[in-house]
Each structure stands twice: as structure tokens, then as C-alpha cells.
Amino acid sequence: MRSATISLAILATCLGGCNGGTADAPTKASESSTADARSPDGRRYLAQPLVDEIYTADPSAHVFDGKLYVYPSHDIDAGIADDDLGNQYAMRDYRVLRIDRPGGPVTVGPVALDIKDVPWASQQMWAPDAAYKDGTYYLYFPARDKSKDKNGLGAFRIGVATSKDPMGPFVADPSYIPGSFSMDPAVFTDDDGASYMYFGGIWGGQLQRWKDGVYDPNGSDTDLKQDDAPAISGKVVRMSADMKHFAGPVRDAVILDEQGKPVKGGDHDRRFFEASWVFKRDGKYYYTYSTGDTHFVNYAIGDSPFGPFTYKGHILAPVQGWTSHHSIVQWNGKWWLFYHDTQLSGKNHLRSVKMTELKFNPDGTIPTIDPFVP
């Protein structure tokens, strides 16, 4: 492991369209330029990247033994143009970040898992998550299998790998989790020790191809184009005791509007797109997610880990860059939001993880965070 000599408050950055010293690593800048960093349209950033030596995205944050670990995607530049299938997101390994105390330096771990060591996977190791149970750390990750659809691409499945160290290295199981599909796994463990996986995403995440419970390799590349019907739901399933299998049927994590009706497919400001994340506060389950093409991070609240969840509002306004993906964790008496943007690259597929404090209103609702400041 290498310890990055970077504070959470002062980090190196480059502006707008700067591409970095290599295709896969940002270029460092002075602390003074970081303090004055502006978006291409002149706005100041609310927070600075946690690290600037690699590109990181899709942060899944966890607290293990009092230390904070972030399990992100590791963005690279594969020279692929942006498209709606997400081919430009060509990540092939994972590296874990560790922060021992708030405001302290960030340790960037070595490669925790490489796609070449995952027998069933063909490409694209997208947003991961992690969990801990009985002395073992579990890394959950999506990747395409070796089948071929109409675009010549594999179907997304969800794999699991294990380690005795939260930083890895992790050893992948030889096959994906039976019955798994789509992407963006997020594992929540309730107060009673039961764990649940939330997962799924439309468009490149392929949920729309599973509408009848069977994968259609020739299905839509976006959604079902049914604006007046209930939106496609993210998924939730209880995990088995060994944390490597599904213990029951996969269910819909349904989001309801204020009238108790499912949010519709045409309501792009509120409907689920990807990036499920669940946490519990004051006995309530907060189901959080990204709206994708409208670029919000939203939340809905329910009384059960299975839902349904009633829509409440936006957690995070649109960041710089197309994607928005997050996690929320309580650490050292405060709640923290982890997210990413393209501050260091100006490119949608080269992102950087950030964190900022998350606050709650007395009634449990969440004030919307603006990723920019006046």
C-alpha cells in the first residue's frame, strides 16, 4: 500500500478538460490552484477529490474497526467514445481507499481484484460494494459474462470475492452468484444481522432486458419506453448465511409517490435508474439511488428492507459529469455522503471520489446538497 500525502480538504486538481499525465492517472497541481478550482462554467466545488493519483468512481463506503474504507470503481481511459451502452467505462480492476480518521491522509491500496482473476467475467468491472461477516470481508462486483448479445457484449452478472483483509487482495469465486443479474450491488446488514443485496440499473445495466424474468439478449438498450406504466424497479434480495448466495426470491424495490402509487417510467426526476444504496436511521430504511439521465441522487423511505419506499426528494443535485453514484455512512458521530464527479479530467469516464457531511432535518428528511458553492 502507498499512503497518499493528500488531505481531504486540500487536494491536487486540474481544471475542465485537463487529461492528466497518463491516460489512467490525473496530473497533480499546486494546493493554491486546488483552492481556486472552478468548474468549466465558473462554479467552485463543494469538496475536493479524495485522491488524485488514480481515477475513482462509484464509491461504496464502510466503517470497519473504526476506520473508513471506500470501495470504488477504478476508472481508466480505454480510448472508447461515450455511448449509451457504457462501453467507455472499461474498468478492469479494483483498488480500495482507507482513511484512518476524518481529515487524515488517504491510503490507496494495491490492486484488490483484477478481471483476469475472475474466470467467468469478460470485461467491465463496474461499481462494487463490500461487507463483513465472521472474520471475512466480501467484495461484490458486477461484470459482463462471456455470452454475446446483439451488440456483441456479455450479460452483466454479480460476483463475490473474499479476503481476510479489508484492503484485499480478494479471491473471486469461480462463478457469479447464482440467479444474479444486472449491476450495482449494494449490501445492507440490518440490526438483526440479516443482510440484503440491492442491485440493478437500466440502459447499460440491462434491467429492461429482464422484464419477464428471463434475459433477452436482443432487448432494449435503454428502457421499456412505457412512460405511463410503473417504472422499472431496482431489485432487493436477502442474502444467505454464507453471504455468497441469494436466500429467497429477487423482489422489486418499489418507489411510491406521495399518493402511494408507483412512480412512473416517464418521471425521470424521480424514477430509479441505478446506484441503489440503503441505510437505516431511527428505525426507518432509506432507499437511495440515482436517476441517471436527469443526474439526481434521490431518496425514499420505508418501514421494511424490502420496501415499498415512499419518495421524499433529492439528496444531491447534478454534479459535473454525466453519472452520479454515491454511498452514505455514519462515521465518528456524523453522517457522510460519498459521490464522484469529473473535476480532475472533464471526461465522463474519468471520475474522482469526494465526500461531504450529510445532514438531516428534525423530521428525518434530508436537505438537498449542491455539489457547487457560490
Q: Which residues are catalytic?
A: 58, 274
CA dihedral 12, 17, 20, 26 (to 10 degrees): 40
Q: How far is CA 241 from CA 132, 245, 247, 273, 280, in A?
A: 12, 8, 8, 29, 21
Residue showing cell 467491465: 124
Burial class of residue 189, CB neighbours in 10 A (0-12, 13-18, 19+): middle
Q: How far is CA 29 from CA 6, 8, 15, 18, 356, in A?
A: 12, 15, 10, 11, 22
